[in-house]
Amino acid sequence: VNFYFFDNRENKVREEILLNRGNLYGDGFFTTGIVKDGKILHQNRHFERLQNTATKFQFADYNEDLLIQFLLDSLKDIDEACIRITISRQQAGRGYQYNQLSKSDVTVQLSHRPEAPVEPCHLVLSETPVSVNAFLAGSKHLNRLDSVLASRQIKSDNQEVVLFHEDNVIGGSRSNLFVLDNKQWKTPSLEMAGVEGITRQRIIELMQQNGIPVSIEPITLQKIQDVEAAFITNSLLGIWPVSKIADKCLETIHVENLKSDINFVV
């Protein structure tokens, strides 16, 4: 345990970071992607999602142009990496209320790009629920304790945990879910919970462009244990075929076919 002690009453210590509302309340949002040759893959989609979230959460000083310039400079010598961009509000005063003029902090962190998994994915059903909030749903905000707690069930590299709201599957702890049900691809609606992933959106568009029907609709716990195929998606993994949901085994050939039908690349 490290102990930090700050007496903010006398302004003796000005610890910008610990006075950040990201740390105090999870008041912020982020995105995760891959850097290749100095650029973030699909960066316009990342910037668009960040801008939309900044507007929704009233981050008045969020400035896309400054961020793009900062990344251009910072990433120019980076061949390949995993990137996380976090935008969080600075604290002014005490308490939940924020000033609409509050400044924000942008934190960019690089880590090694994870290797693509060799084995297909085993989906485990979460024992803890997804957090439900119709206003927050879809946004990649910093309140992610539901994913943190669900990920306790991940015991090996080829596992992912799927979370539920009542009887409806929302997605994986770090991914979106697609299933093939009655020869129709489906992905859960995210109106009450979950994150609208950039890869999820890309795949929906690629399927539409290639004339492959896909629908966004509620998918029940019973249903996902009775599908023909499934895969999960995120910006780091791309498409990860699922070979097992709980105790039910699945063939991955449908997913491999889909990947080639839509010419998917991460």
Token pair listed for 260: 């080639």
Q: Provide the 8-state DSSP code for 94.
A: S
What residues contact 74, with CB distance under 8 A and at least 6 apart?
108
Distance from C-alpha of 86 to C-alpha of 74, rounded to nearest angstrom? 15
CB of 244 to its own copies, least distance (A): 19
Among 68, 125, 136, 221, indicate the residue that binds its own copies (CB under 8 A). 136
221 phi, psi to nearest 5 deg:
-55, -40
For its own copies, the binding residues in 23-52 under the rule CB under 8 A are 23-27, 30
Stretch that binds its own copies, among 115-123, 134-142, 182-190, 248-256 (CB under 8 A): 134-142
Spatial CA neighbour of 130 closest among 115, 144, 114, 111: 144
Residue with smaller CB distance to its own copies, 132 or 212: 132
Type of residue at 28? G
In the range 92-121, which residues lie near its own copies by CB under 8 A?
94-98, 103-112, 114
Is residue 147 within the footprint of its own copies (CB under 8 A)?
A: yes
Tell how far CA 116 is from the center of its chain.
Answer: 17
How near is the Cβ of 16 to its own copies at its closest, in Å? 7
The whole-angstrom separation of Cα 130 and Cα 173 is: 9
Residue 201 in tokens = 């959106």
Among 39, 43, 52, 82, binds its own copies (CB under 8 A): 82
Which residues, numbered 47-76, are part of the site for its own copies (CB under 8 A)?
Answer: 57-58, 61-63, 66, 70, 74
CB of 73 to its own copies, least distance (A): 9
Number of residues that bind its own copies (CB under 8 A): 74
Q: Residue 63 CB, nearest distance to its own copies (Å)? A: 6
**Does the footprint of its own copies cover residue 249 (CB under 8 A)?**
no
81 interacts with its own copies by CB under 8 A: yes
| Spatial contact of 183 and 228, defined as CB atoms under 8 Å apart | yes
Choose which of 34, 40, 123, 142 interacts with its own copies (CB under 8 A).
Answer: 142
Per CB under 8 A, contacts with its own copies among 152-171 are 152, 154
Instruction: Quote the tokens at residue 97.
Output: 């209320």
204 near 176, Cβ under 8 Å?
no
